[in-house]
Amino acid sequence: MVFNSYTFVAFFILILFLHNLPLSWKTKKVNLLLASYIFYAAWNPPFILLLWLSTVIDFYVGRALYTQENPHKKKLLLVVSLIGNLGMLCFFKYGTFLLDNFVSLTHLIGFDFNPAKPNIILPAGISFYTFTTLCYTIDMYKKESKPVKSLLDFSLFVTFFPHLVAGPIVRPPQLVPQFESPRIASRKQMMDGLLLLTLGLFMKVVLADGMLASAADAVFSSRDVLPSLDAWIGVLAFSGQIFLDFAGYSTCAIGVALCLGFILPQNFNYPYAAIGFSDFWRRWHITLSSWLRDYLYIPLGGSKNGKAKMYFALMMTMLLGGLWHGANWTFVVWGGLHGLYLWVEKFFKDRRGVQSDVSTSANTVTNFAYAMLTFMLVNITWVFFRADTFGKSWGMLQSMFGMVDGKPLLTTLAILKVAVIIPLLVLCHWFLRNTKILDVAYKMSWVWLSVFWSAMLLLLIWAQESGSSFIYFQF
């Protein structure tokens, strides 16, 4: 089930109705848990078993980790959790990828090994709920938070349908305490939530799918050599599409949760206004960035064990973060490029003795130019994220930088759509970079807010139901 479907509208209305009935809080939580399983089962019902298995293992292992004093038994319990979670993730997401690379390696050394292709279906959102449960057991191992008291609350924490499939990646202290006492949205929360839901759907259905997806798909699916203009338009279209699609999902998720009285963490903060790459990763997929920082970068050494270890930890974090996104070496290169950007940025900051981030300074022309440079370099990385082969990636880069020239592909209308939407998107990010969208809405008069809200609704009705899933469902 996806937010951008009429099925979800009916489902959500029913959930709101049940959640606001005069029932006990435990009954309402059971209703939310069952609704979350139904929401997930709409893709492939048998995969609910994976959710149950991950939930039950980590609930009991997490409790045992917190109370266990024997260090050897404690490490063994952590290994059980890691094997259970990462084992399922590796099998379903990376099984075919690992087999293909093993076969290529055997052929390289002269063995003719050709096994049957496995038919593995990737469970929706497995990367997201695996990270959600992993952070719980790791926190229990470190005793950084207390165990969740009830299996019901823990199950709801893992499977709460707004964040289940594509985040935000929540941590126990952010959500579990909200299940401990009755919650019903206030009138203000309900209106804010519906506004965010409308905005998120508008970003996904009208802008990402309706205005940008066709140009991105046409360029990246083309087998022909493209002129520079078409290549850049295609890459910029995908740059806008993936932000509007993914941030649209996160905005919907936060809005849906708010309508039920729950608060989810912010996941995007105008990333295309980032002044530098460390600033970009504080603004793009914030919950994943903070997860990688706390559970990968810092354990690998972070910035407290010398520059060499810091650079190693930074690159390994970005490479593994790239691999988290997909079972393809192009994703690893995408992560590696971001790691390289961060290396270069860190090197020059250290050389100049810069302690604070440039992003905290005033919005000068220099900062804007740096932000535009950051944006353009990020666009180069999107080539590897979107293209499924290195050959396609290299062909796109050749076209973008005028090394080859081909026959025009895109229509004038398609080019105009991207040429209008992307600059507007970047400017909106720049001028709103230190604000929140709800704060902007609060400052507007009710007349203008009503006009903009109505316009989004009308455009959604005009665009009708979007049949495409959110891009990050595949991760």
The one-letter amino acid at 124: A
Residue in 163, 325, 338, 429 annotated catalytic: 325
Told to judge if 325 belongs to the known catalytic residues of this protein, a careful annotator would answer: yes
Tokens coding 168: 């935000």
Half-sphere exposure of 341 (CA within 13 A, CB side): 24
Cβ–Cβ contacts within 10 Å for residue 193, how many?
22
Annotate the chain with three-state secondary structure.
CCCCCHHHHHHHHHHHHHHCCCCCHHHHHHHHHHHHHHHHHCCCHHHHHHHHHHHHHHHHHHHHHHHCCCHHHHHHHHHHHHHHHHHHHHHHHHHHHHHHHHHHHHHHCCCCCCCCCCCCCCCCCHHHHHHHHHHHHHHHHHCCCCCCCCHHHHHHHHHCHHHHCCCCCCCHHHHHHHHCCCCCCCHHHHHHHHHHHHHHHHHHHHHHHHHHHHHHHHHHHCCCCCCHHHHHHHHHHHHHHHHHHHHHHHHHHHHHHHHCCCCCCCCCCCHHHCCCHHHHHCCCCHHHHHHHHHHHHCCCCCCCCCHHHHHHHHHHHHHHHHHHHCCCHHHHHHHHHHHHHHHHHHHHHHHHCCCCCHHHCCCCHHHHHHHHHHHHHHHHHHHHHHCCCHHHHHHHHHHHCCCCCCCCCCCHHHHHHHHHHHHHHHHHHHHHCCCCHHHHHHHCCHHHHHHHHHHHHHHHHHHCCCCCCCHHHHC
Q: Which residue has the tokens 């063994």?
A: 76
Active site residues: 325
